[in-house]
Structure 1
Amino acid sequence: MQVGKPYFINLACTGVIPTKAMNSHVPLHYEEILADVAQALALGVQMVHLHARDNAGIQTADPAPYGRLVEAIRALPGGRELIVGVTTSGRQDAGFESRSRVLELDGLAKPDMASLTLSSLNFAQSASVNAPDTIRQLAERMATKGIKPELEVFDAGMANFAAVLLKEGLLKPPLYVNVLLGNVAGAQADLLQLAAILAALPHGCIVGVAGLGRFQLAANGLGLLAADGVRVGLEDNLWFDQQRTVLASNTRLIERVIAQAHLLERRLLSTTAIRDRLGMTS
């Protein structure tokens, strides 16, 4: 049990799927994403996970909008310390070349982290294709560029693959892991299934727990009970209530996690502290 232990929040603010038609609060444009990140910083959030869209609102692998966003975030109060991650999602394109372009950013545009999903998987209406060779290539490129993998784990098999990549030398400790619960084809948001994943992960991982859709609230609670922190945001869940009558915003979701943590007497880690745990320099 992690009651009383400091924790972190990782904000996944946009994602691949959400649109304005689904929720008017979804930040799709540069200024909107920047505004949500600024509010997250003011609330004490230490990490953000970024997706960018093209002019048609479609997820893009073009590194230019990511670089522009990262540079602007660095200019915000506290932005130099914030841990900024970018996606290498396989939901729109399974290929290594397009997905790795964002890893070429440098200078103030360079991200601290990049997502690395550890297997292919099905969502409710689409698939994320992640071939073993592509996963290895992305891990190798991240290592070369000095970008820490933001490992995405949806079941115990993916946790095992993290151990395989660690043994192969493609990952270096300490590992950062998002455990995502509640997907139709993955582990569900209950303590037993989370415990199985935590047991399968290599020793010493820094773990945040996320929940998809209506499972976000429960999964965040499990993360605060059993892990190092949580991932929260509109990428994973568009509704504030279980009845789906109140649209969520990133700010309200962050505030709800903070309220949950307060009941468990958990306070937010400083960004410097989580950077130190992850072996990062600001």
Structure 2
Amino acid sequence: MSGTIDEPLVISAAITGGGPARKRTPYHPVTHDELVKEAVACGKAGAAIVHLHARNEDGIATMSPDVYRNLANDIRAEGSNVIINFSAGDNGGRASHTERLGIAKTGAEMVTIGAGSFNANGRLYNNAPNYIDAMLKSLSDHNVSPEIEIFDTGQLAEMKRLMANRLISPSPSVQFVFGVSGGLPARIGILDQLLLDLPADCHWSTCCQSDDYSVWREMMLYTFLRGGHIRTGMEDVIYAGPGELAKSNADLVAQWVKTAQTWGRPLVTPDELRAQLGICH
């Protein structure tokens, strides 16, 4: 299943990952104030969603509910209407399932959750079925919309189980994640195969994490061509062009706004996306 290039476009800005602070670029935001500023700027630039990993003031990633809650509160205090999407990842293997479950009570409107486990950089990224079910129940109890991340081809079967058991919407938000060690290689042919097996009415996007800008560019432009939605931002890409470091996440968002305008894809606003996905605000 896929859309067409005429589909309205959702831009998601993943402004900071969970990796070491400023290891790849000096422009990577890591402090609380930097994250709030960048989130607000990305919303103004045209992003419907801002995806965040929380960080302590020393720049180290954390799954602390208080740190996440402060992020949400301060982004809203700045008047931003952008959809706040928090990560339910395992913080590089440091966060337990119990700690990760706390993300539902932090003020996010969306939370990303992996659809299965895999070996990542010599460790198990543990998304066991009982944890997934518990996380989805917690998100539902707190009126938070899940974004289902697909890290490998077999995880589509798990997503279909969740749909069959009514743990997620029959038209869920799905994100294919390419380039993570142990997960999907960043290849166009693999995306084509995934789309053949994707249930109808899914809202799908692509995340590509690669230090090779040409690989990232190819995957994202192909996603755009197929009618998928775009995730950009310094968690995934640090370049504004070949060999040119992006100065801000908002600049990366602005690139896709211009691309959408050039090729006639209207942008989806945060409120339009809330209505489409049934997100409570």
Q: TM-score, normalised by structure 1?
A: 0.89
- Looking at structure 2, the residues matched to 94 and 68 of structure 1 have their Cα atoms a distance apart, in angstroms, of 19
Q: Do the aligned partners of 1:85 and 1:112 also contact (CA within 8 Å) in 2?
A: yes
Q: Secondary structure at the match of 2:244?
A: coil
Uncovered stretches (5+) of structure 1, i.e. residues with no partner: none
Q: Counterpart of 1:280?
A: 279
Q: CA deviation at 1:212?
A: 0.9
Match of 2:180 among 160, 168, 183: 183
Q: Secondary structure at the match of 2:176?
A: strand
Q: Do the aligned partners of 2:31 and 2:58 also contact (CA within 8 Å) in 1?
A: no
The aligned amino acid for 2:236 is D
Q: Counterpart of 2:218?
A: 218
Match of 2:153 among 153, 156, 160: 156
- Looking at structure 1, the residues matched to 78 and 156 of structure 2 have their Cα atoms a distance apart, in angstroms, of 35
Q: CA deviation at 1:94?
A: 5.3
* 1:243-258 to 2 correspondences below 5 Å: 245-248=243-246, 249-258=248-257
Q: Secondary structure at the match of 1:22?
A: coil
Identity in percent: 25
* 1:66-215 to 2 correspondences below 5 Å: 66-77=68-79, 79=80, 81-90=81-90, 91-93=92-94, 95-105=96-106, 110-124=107-121, 127-213=124-210, 214=212, 215=215
- Looking at structure 1, the residues matched to 20 and 257 of structure 2 have their Cα atoms a distance apart, in angstroms, of 24
- Looking at structure 2, the residues matched to 41 and 272 of structure 1 have their Cα atoms a distance apart, in angstroms, of 12
Runs of 4+ residues over 6 Å off in structure 1: none
- Looking at structure 1, the residues matched to 85 and 266 of structure 2 have their Cα atoms a distance apart, in angstroms, of 23
Q: Relative to 1, partners in 2 of residues 1:123 and 1:96: Cα closer, same or farther, differing over 3 Å?
A: closer
Q: Relative to 1, partners in 2 of residues 1:135 and 1:273: Cα closer, same or farther, differing over 3 Å?
A: same
- Looking at structure 1, the residues matched to 236 and 120 of structure 2 have their Cα atoms a distance apart, in angstroms, of 12
- Looking at structure 2, the residues matched to 251 and 125 of structure 1 have their Cα atoms a distance apart, in angstroms, of 33
Q: Secondary structure at the match of 2:70?
A: helix
Which string of whole-angstrom CA distances, capped at 9 and with x for unpartnered residues, describes residues 167-195 of structure 1?
Answer: 12221233111111233433333332112
Q: Do the aligned partners of 1:160 and 1:201 also contact (CA within 8 Å) in 2?
A: no
Q: Do the aligned partners of 1:208 and 1:230 also contact (CA within 8 Å) in 2?
A: yes
Q: Relative to 1, partners in 2 of residues 1:21 and 1:154: Cα closer, same or farther, differing over 3 Å?
A: closer
RMSD (Å), alpha carbons: 2.0
Q: Counterpart of 1:230?
A: 230
Q: Secondary structure at the match of 2:24?
A: coil
The aligned amino acid for 1:104 is K
- Looking at structure 1, the residues matched to 209 and 89 of structure 2 have their Cα atoms a distance apart, in angstroms, of 16
- Looking at structure 2, the residues matched to 16 and 119 of structure 1 have their Cα atoms a distance apart, in angstroms, of 19
- Looking at structure 2, the residues matched to 14 and 127 of structure 1 have their Cα atoms a distance apart, in angstroms, of 22
Uncovered stretches (5+) of structure 2, i.e. residues with no partner: none
Q: Relative to 1, partners in 2 of residues 1:10 and 1:171: Cα closer, same or farther, differing over 3 Å?
A: same
Q: CA deviation at 1:219?
A: 2.1
Q: CA deviation at 1:237?
A: 2.3
Q: Do the aligned partners of 1:121 and 1:129 also contact (CA within 8 Å) in 2?
A: yes
